[in-house]
Amino acid sequence: MHCPACRQRITETEATCLQCGFSLEALTAQMGIQPQLSPPVADLARVLSSHGRRSLINSIQFLEQRFPEVSATIVIAEVPQGLKPEVYAFWLFNRANLFSAVERGGDNHGLLLLIDPQTSLALATIGYGLEPFISELTLEKCLCPAVPYLSKKKFAEAGVSFFREAERQFTELAQQMPAVFGYTESLYWLDSTTGELTHAAQDEHEDPY
């Protein structure tokens, strides 16, 4: 992962960034009371219509049905003055109870989309469990379809576009996994009697098509 304050690469176990001194505990003390948000759609800015909220919930549910291990949520809120959006998103991700207690460390497959309606800015962050597979470039690709809607203050449409593109990007990544690991369907089996590899002959009664 990268430090949200200076972007220096750090490990999950480092409580403080050695480059800039950032720490989640210090930020939490600065921020005060932790917000109690209700995923999957937390509209702190109150800019969504009931239709927009339903559209976002549907798009998130579709993504999670396609990828049951992923927990997705969107927060629409103004970034506090003097705080970097990346830092605020990091704090929300880790302190706003957006994910269950068991989703910690490498078991966290969370996906958070933060939209600031005041600046029309959007950014995405993921849990440690997704970092080995989903790069920052992939997240940028997911954000691209949302940009035209953000400029028009259409925040529900921006979120829906993001989650739909995330579904496409994740599907493409999943399809690439066999090639990444060099996996192929074996046409041979090991004969336990001779210890030799034998070609798996097709059943003569099986329809090859």
Beta strands in the chain (DSSP E): 41-43, 71-76, 110-116, 121-126, 188-190, 197-199
Considering the domain architecture, whether residues 49 and 121 belong to the same structural domain is answered as: yes
Considering the domain architecture, whether residues 76 and 3 belong to the same structural domain is answered as: no
Determine contact, residues 130/70, Cβ cutoff 8 Å.
yes
Torsion of CA 70, 73, 78, 82, to 10 degrees: -20
> Has residue 178 been placed in a domain?
yes
pLDDT digits (tens, 9 = 90+) for 69-99: 999 999 999 999 999 999 999 899 988 888 7
Considering the domain architecture, whether residues 84 and 181 belong to the same structural domain is answered as: yes
> Has residue 135 been placed in a domain?
yes
Confirm whether pTM is higher than 0.75. Answer: yes
CA 22, 144, 12: angle at the middle one, nearest 5?
Answer: 25
Q: Is the peptide bond before 4 cis (omega within 30 degrees of 0)?
A: no
> Closest by alpha carbon to 51, among 149, 155, 145, 143?
155
What CATH number does residue 53 fall under? 3.10.310.50
Considering the domain architecture, whether residues 29 and 131 belong to the same structural domain is answered as: no
Considering the domain architecture, whether residues 29 and 40 belong to the same structural domain is answered as: no
Considering the domain architecture, whether residues 1 and 69 belong to the same structural domain is answered as: no
Considering the domain architecture, whether residues 24 and 53 belong to the same structural domain is answered as: no
> Has residue 205 been placed in a domain?
no
Quick one: pLDDT at residue 202?
Answer: 44
pLDDT digits (tens, 9 = 90+) for 166-176: 999 999 998 88
Considering the domain architecture, whether residues 26 and 58 belong to the same structural domain is answered as: no
Q: Specify the number of domains making up the chain.
A: 2
**Within the chain, which residues score under 70 in pLDDT?**
1, 10-15, 18, 100-106, 183-209
